[in-house]
Amino acid sequence: MISFLEVLQRATTGPMMSAKEYDMKVFIPAVREVVKKYKIEFDPKDPCPHDDDLADRIYQAGVELYSKVGTYCTDTERIIHFTVEEIEQAVDECPKVVYFGEGPDRIEWHGRMPDDNKLPHCHVGSGTNTTEDVALKMVEAYGRITKAKTTSIPSLTTVGTLSGSLGSPMEVLAGINMMRIAREGLRRAGRPGMAIIDLHPSCASGIGTIASSNPEFGARKSDGWIVAPHAELKINYDSLNQVAYLTSWGANIGQEAGPIMGGYAGGPEGTAVVTLAYAFHGILVVRATYHLTYPIQMLNVCSTTPEMIYVISTSSQAFARNIRAPYYALGYASAGPATKQYFYEAAAYLLAIQSSGIGIEDVHPNKAVGTNQALPIDSEFTCAFGHGNVGITRKEANSIIKKLMEKYMPNIKSAPKGRDLYQCYDLETMKPDDELLKLYDEVIKELNGYGINFK
């Protein structure tokens, strides 16, 4: 595989142009061209298709797209280009298994296939805004779920009574603070070696990441460290600095991408191809050993609509069949926490990703914009879903998803807001209140009726 140093070299020697020119003259036309050439068409009747040929066409379209557009470096205003051969070689040689955590909590994560009989990787937690008083309890609750293999940790904006913002020294302090809290939470849950991945939502800058990675604060290279792009397929030196540091340290690096349907990628077809193309950016530019994606719809800002289920299903199938590295997806529900609609939306998304052959993670309620809204019960739901539906096929998933959509799509724009952690949990025991327990029981029974099992 092309070395990271060569990537850096290309960032300073590739063709130069403004970001606008890249979007308008390089990116948008190339996406349109490959969508047409590979005959990729969205059919709302099949949100989760079981068409291997379509999956492979999306893969081919993604390779061709990435060989044309590469990754744009916003600091040098140049394109980092790769040839088709370089992309294919990178796919062949990239790690197909990743090791997370330490001691008895150490796990292996392998890629899966669509319609696979293997248990998917179950990842829990959320990097959403959380107040400091409950952050420790949240992480402890995530750690207590033994089926969960890795966890995300909350995003903090405070250190005690001080609050701050990204880019200020407060980011560094909040990042370190959250790192310490998270490790302590897992220790309290009896899983001190469990890996914290998706680091580090309190930080976005290279300096924040590097500062909070000091082992003194509980961080490890066997945790997972994600590096963000700019939309779409762009990167800056700050992110490349993170890569320079993380590769030198030998840490697990995650590629994260939130491609936007309706944005530069265009409709569902283009977004599926772009979502897949991020994998090549991940392997080559970010040097990723695992991949996280969260395509999202621009107008509703959620990922449970038919278009978005199509995007995540088809791009995941393309990835699973052709790259087979550790990959998982994060969904955004329109409905708020502790509502029936949240669980319907979450079930639809989980059906799509589990059957399409990738790892699963908690679907975030209320589009992840609320505070203290990612409930531990969501994580239990995710894991029970993953274990209960091993071997579910895309065909089965597709038909259940359509029935679930009949229930939630009419309310997607005016989804119920729900209740946050303070309103529906006993914070002493971290147990849901009776109202939520009753709702959860009812929802599980209802979903059982659709053929979804929980274990």
Residues that bind ligand B12 (CB under 6 A): 126-129, 155, 200-201, 204, 226, 228-231, 256-258, 260, 294, 296, 298, 301, 332, 364, 367-369
256 binds, among ligand B12, other proteins, none (CB under 5 to 8 A by kind): ligand B12
Is the four-CA dihedral 127, 177, 163, 238 of positive or negative sign?
negative
Nearest distance in Å: CB 340, ligand B12: 21
Nearest CB to other proteins, comparing residues 268 and 432: 268
- Of these partners, ligand B12, other proteins, none, which one is at the site of residue 200 (CB under 5 to 8 Å by kind)? ligand B12
Closer to ligand B12 by Cβ: residue 230 or 324: 230
CB of 229 to ligand B12, least distance (A): 5
- 15, 95, 263, 388: which one contacts other proteins (CB under 8 A)? 263
**Rg of the chain (C-alpha set):** 21
Comparing CB distances to other proteins, the nearer of 258 and 282 is 258
Render the burial of 120-132: b for 16+ CB within 10 Å, e for the rest: bbbbbbbbbbbbb
Structure tokens at 90: 């990178």
| Options 129, 209, 242, 339; binder of other proteins; rule CB under 8 A | 129
Among 211-219, 262-270, 376-384, 390-398, which window interacts with other proteins (CB under 8 A)?
Answer: 262-270
**Per-residue string for binding with other proteins, 311-350, x by CB under 8 A?**
----------------------------------------
Residue 283-302 contact track with other proteins, rule CB under 8 A, x = bound: ---------------xx-x-
Give least dist CB 348 to ligand B12, A: 17
Comparing CB distances to ligand B12, the nearer of 415 and 452 is 415
The CA distances from residue 431 to 101, 174, 335, in Å, are 27, 27, 21
Q: Which of 202, 255, 313, 339 binds other proteins (CB under 8 A)?
A: 202
167 touches other proteins by CB under 8 A: yes
Nearer to ligand B12, 260 or 430 (CB): 260
CB of 263 to ligand B12, least distance (A): 8
> What does the alpha-carbon distance between residue 139 and residue 56 come to, in Å, rounded to a whole number?
39
At 256, is the secondary structure helix, strand, or coil? strand
**Least gap, CB of 116 to ligand B12 (angstroms):** 26
**Are 225 and 254 a contacting pair, CB within 8 Å?**
yes
Stretch that binds other proteins, among 117-125, 145-153, 163-171, 335-343 (CB under 8 A): 163-171
Identify residue 190 by its one-letter amino acid code: G
Q: How far is the CB of 228 from other proteins (least distance, A)?
A: 8
- Give the span between the Cα atoms of 413 and 408, in whole angstroms: 10
- Residue 192 interacts with other proteins (CB under 8 A)? no
Helix residue ranges, H only, 189-281: 206-212, 237-249, 268-281
27 token code pair: 């990116």
Asked if residue 59 lies in contact with residue 322, where contact means CB atoms within 8 angstroms, the answer is yes
Contact string 13-42 vs other proteins (x = CB under 8 A):
----------xx---x---x----------
Secondary structure class of 72 (helix, strand, coil): strand
Q: Which residues contact 311 (CB under 8 A, 6 or more apart)?
A: 259, 261, 268, 271, 272, 275, 295, 303
Strand partners, 360: 122, 329
Q: Give which of other proteins, ligand B12, none residue 165 binds (C-beta under 5 to 8 Å, depending on kind).
A: other proteins
Query: Measured between alpha carbons, how far is 99 from 106 in angstroms, rounded to an integer?
Result: 7
How many residues touch other proteins (CB under 8 A)? 35
Pairwise CA distance, residues 398 & 125, whole Å: 26
Nearer CB in complex with ligand B12: 76/303: 303
Q: The tokens of 412 are what?
A: 């997607």
**In the complex, minimum distance from the CB of residue 302 to other proteins, in angstroms, rounded to a whole number:** 12
Q: How many residues does the chain have?
A: 455
A 10 A CB-CB count for 374 gives 29
Binding site partner of 257, from other proteins, ligand B12, none, Cβ cut-off 5-8 A by kind: ligand B12
Distance CA 350, CA 388 (A): 12
Exposed e or buried b per residue across 292-316, where buried means at least 16 C-beta atoms within 10 angstroms of its C-beta: bbbbbbeebebbbbbbbbbbbbbbb
199 — phi, psi (to 5°)? -70, 145
Q: Which residues in this chain contact other proteins in the complex, by CB under 8 A?
A: 23-24, 28, 32, 129, 155, 157, 163-167, 171, 174, 202, 204-205, 228, 230-231, 236, 260-264, 266-267, 298-299, 301, 367-369, 371
